[in-house]
Amino acid sequence: MKGNETMLDFRTSKFVLRISRDSYQLLKRHLQEKQNNQIWNIVQEHLYIDIFDGMPRSKQQIDAMVGSLAGEAKREANKSKVFFGLLKEPEIEVPLDDEDEEGENEEGKPKKKKPKKDSIGSKSKKQDPNAPPQNRIPLPELKDSDKLDKIMNMKETTKRVRLGPDCLPSICFYTFLNAYQGLTAVDVTDDSSLIAGGFADSTVRVWSVTPKKLRSVKQAADLSLIDKESDDVLERIMDEKTASELKILYGHSGPVYGASFSPDRNYLLSSSEDGTVRLWSLQTFTCLVGYKGHNYPVWDTQFSPYGYYFVSGGHDRVARLWATDHYQPLRIFAGHLADVNCTRFHPNSNYVATGSADRTVRLWDVLNGNCVRIFTGHKGPIHSLTFSPNGRFLATGATDGRVLLWDIGHGLMVGELKGHTDTVCSLRFSRDGEILASGFASLSHDSRVSPDIYVDFSGETA
């Protein structure tokens, strides 16, 4: 025993314990109050306490956050401030709204006015303390159609029933039949009117799920005949003969791994194995631009919530920020050690989150291209990401079957959702942020279910 080096090592070395300053203060105070000198001596003799400033973590959090491919993220990496608040909504006059509702139902008038005022007021009047300055990132001007959309959105918000454990949503489930394992990407527009699917046979298909069919604009020769002064010019430019429920977009030369609608529903982005991101017009159903730069398969792409910008990430281990009118990327977010599997914009458009095969999730500042957060903890490649609608949380899913919830403010994990046994392929929050839906690919369980499970939360009362 005496000569054993291992024993000697155990006796003389101190055990290193990382502990937050708050926790350490509490421990010290507790021991002093109880006059528990013996324990204090043991602590002094055998433990080396490494004190750090910041949020104390629970054991669960520590367990969940260790074990990334490149080790746990350094504390310094997550120190910079992140403006995770939402941008101020533009002031929109909604007189139209009021009239509509009065016409619709008179009895509900007094009741409905109140919540609407609240929701609009809270958004527009008060500036969120965590929100970035309004012009931190130049955003496109609002068009008239955008304003109309916003008004519709607000109207729906006021009617929406708040979801919760007592009030579960109605879910409409869309199944892609006869896809023969070929479906690789899916996106749904914000108003649930269009669904786009990217397929392994290089096509992108767009379906209309409302009775309104998809029509393309007339040919140039026919367009010149139209009276441009007429009121229904927007209706006249559409070619009735092309109306159909499904439009197929040809152009890629490899499986389409990412698809994203623009918020105004005029464009569609798709990213493919062939290394390009393509921008499609949903007016003419043709390809407008092919953005080349990745050179390797592009795994994911997404439009900014305000349009104009979009982000893509691929096998070349970088994520790129593009603007639709530039053929070269505006920013290149480099830092991941392996493929960037998924990319998502923060709801305020100032940040981009990327999930990678190196098992980390990074948050990048769009303004200067810096990495402002590194979330470690997943035990497998990240395959899905989503921000909560209030911008405060980030949910990530990986091949380890876990869904982790992160608080962007302090960069710590706040929750772990277990239940999946395999890769979590898709994640979506409900519009009010109360419910998180997750989908995973499963051949064995039910071959009818398409790999992407998309959930449309139609929580509003009709």
Partner 1 sequence: MAEEKKLKLSNTVLPSESMKVVAESMGIAQIQEETCQLLTDEVSYRIKEIAQDALKFMHMGKRQKLTTSDIDYALKLKNVEPLYGFHAQEFIPFRFASGGGRELYFYEEKEVDLSDIINTPLPRVPLDVCLKAHWLSIEGCQPAIPENPPPAPKEQQKAEATEPLKSAKPGQEEDGPLKGKGQGAAPADGKGKEKKAPPLLEGAPLRLKPRSIHELSVEQQLYYKEITEACVGSCEAKRAEALQSIATDPGLYQMLPRFSTFISEGVRVNVVQNNLALLIYLMRMVKALMDNPTLYLEKYVHELIPAVMTCIVSRQLCLRPDVDNHWALRDFAARLVAQICKHFSTTTNNIQSRITKTFTKSWVDEKTPWTTRYGSIAGLAELGHDVIKTLILPRLQQEGERIRSVLDGPVLSNIDRIGADHVQSLLLKHCAPVLAKLRLPPDNQDAYRAEFGSLGPLLCSHVVKARAQAALQAQQVNRTTLTITQPRPTLTLSQAPQPGPRTPGLLKVPGSIALPVQTLVSARAAAPPQPSPPPTKFIVMSSSSASSTQQGRAKEAPLPILLQPLPHPLPPPHLEAVPSVGGNRKLGIAPLQLQGLQKLTAPSPPDLAPLSLRLNAVAHLPVFSLHPGVRRQEPRCGRWSPRSRSHSNHPGEWPT
Residues that bind partner 1 in the complex, under the rule CB under 8 A: 165, 167-184, 195, 197, 199-200, 205, 207, 209, 246, 254-255, 257, 273, 296-297, 299, 315, 339, 341, 357, 381, 383, 399, 422-423, 425, 441-444, 446-448, 451-452, 455, 462
300 to 57, 244, 277, 310: CA distances (angstroms): 33, 28, 9, 11
Q: How far is the CB of 216 from partner 1 (least distance, A)?
A: 20
Question: How many other C-beta atoms are found inside a 10 Å radius of the C-beta of residue 159?
Answer: 16
Question: Alpha-carbon distance 247 to 210, whole Å?
Answer: 14
Give the DSSP H/E element, type plus range, for residue 146.
Answer: helix 144-159
Q: How far is the CB of 174 from partner 1 (least distance, A)?
A: 5
Q: How far is the CB of 176 from partner 1 (least distance, A)?
A: 6
Q: How far is the CB of 191 from partner 1 (least distance, A)?
A: 16
For residues 255 and 307, which CB has a smaller minimum distance to partner 1 in the complex?
A: 255
For residues 42 and 246, which CB has a smaller minimum distance to partner 1 in the complex?
A: 246
Classify the phi-psi angles of 79: left when phi > 0, otherwise alpha if psi is within -120 to 50, otherwise beta: alpha
Q: Which residues pair with 318 in a beta bridge?
A: 334
359 to 188, 336, 396, 444: CA distances (angstroms): 27, 9, 11, 26
For residues 357 and 372, which CB has a smaller minimum distance to partner 1 in the complex?
A: 357
For residues 320 and 346, which CB has a smaller minimum distance to partner 1 in the complex?
A: 320
Burial bucket for residue 268 (CB in 10 Å: 0-12, 13-18, 19+) = buried
Q: How far is the CB of 116 from partner 1 (least distance, A)?
A: 21
Residue with tokens 């977009």: 249
For residues 135 and 444, which CB has a smaller minimum distance to partner 1 in the complex?
A: 444
Q: Check: CB of residue 172 under 8 Å from CB of residue 234.
A: no
For residues 348 and 396, which CB has a smaller minimum distance to partner 1 in the complex?
A: 396
Q: How far is the CB of 44 from partner 1 (least distance, A)?
A: 39
Q: How far is the CB of 384 from partner 1 (least distance, A)?
A: 11
Question: Alpha-carbon distance 156 to 262, whole Å?
Answer: 20
Residue with tokens 């046979």: 201
Question: Alpha-carbon distance 116 to 421, whole Å?
Answer: 42
Burial bucket for residue 440 (CB in 10 Å: 0-12, 13-18, 19+) = buried
For residues 341 and 349, which CB has a smaller minimum distance to partner 1 in the complex?
A: 341
- CA torsion sign for 113, 117, 118, 119 is positive
For residues 16 and 462, which CB has a smaller minimum distance to partner 1 in the complex?
A: 462
Q: How far is the CB of 172 from partner 1 (least distance, A)?
A: 6
Token pair belonging to 131: 């929100």
